[in-house]
């Protein structure tokens, strides 16, 4: 898992259907400008506006393309755990390298429910995973205790994209080579000072 990934938009036709071939232009442009890791279908990629079937179409599109020279991370979040599992299982059969697991918006799960959600999704994949804590958008804030519990049991959790208070993780004992992604570039210098060693953003 690389320390910098660029979140890319999802291209559409004028009738709001997916313009899958449009991904090629975006990927090629970023590759030509030195970017070697992309986040597909993150919140910048209209994740929660897409149906599960549309997201599966995107997974299938990228699974048919060579990606030896670029890392692909795919964002997974769904209100229904069964929908998130469908996405995870589809990704597992592809060469997509890693998964960014976000917490579902609006329903504001308890910490126990959030742990169960991650446990359940991780039982369906062997890929490297980063968690996405985005409390201002979801209404849920993953606690340090819940994070430590998940890290203690899942060695494939290799990163955390933190959209909340980065400073609270100063005392967390992260595994070696763990990446704390800053979620956005506006306050990046401060977030690096407070412990971030990566960036996941549309800055590219």
Q: What is the pLDDT of residue 184?
A: 79
Domains and CATH numbers, the chain: 4-201 (3.20.20.70)
User: Which residue has better confidence, 181 or 172?
Assistant: 181
Q: Which two tokens stand for residue 140?
A: 């849920």
Model pTM? 0.94
The model's confidence at residue 186, banded by pLDDT at 50, 70 and 90, is confident
Range with lowest mean pLDDT among 47-56, 58-67, 87-96, 118-127? 58-67
């Amino acid at each position: 898992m690389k320390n910098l990934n660029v979140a890319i938009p999802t291209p559409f036709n004028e009738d709001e259907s997916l313009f899958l071939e449009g991904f090629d232009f975006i990927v090629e442009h970023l590759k030509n400008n030195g970017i070697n890791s992309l986040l597909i279908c993150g919140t910048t990629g209209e994740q929660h506006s897409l149906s599960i079937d549309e997201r599966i179409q995107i997974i299938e599109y990228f699974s048919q393309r060579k990606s030896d020279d670029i890392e692909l991370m795919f964002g997974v979040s769904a209100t229904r755990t069964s929908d998130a599992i469908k996405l995870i299982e589809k990704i597992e059969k592809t060469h997509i390298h890693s998964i960014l697991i976000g917490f579902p918006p609006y329903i504001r799960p308890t910490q126990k429910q959030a742990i169960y959600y991650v446990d359940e999704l991780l039982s369906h994949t062997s890929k490297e995973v980063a968690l996405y804590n985005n409390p201002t958008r979801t209404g849920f804030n993953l606690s340090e205790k819940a994070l430590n519990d998940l890290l203690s049991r899942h060695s494939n959790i290799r990163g955390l994209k933190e959209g909340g208070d980065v400073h609270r993780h100063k005392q967390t004992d992260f595994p070696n080579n763990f990446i704390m992604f800053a979620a956005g570039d506006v306050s990046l210098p401060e977030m690096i000072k407070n412990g971030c060693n990566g960036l996941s953003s549309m800055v590219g």
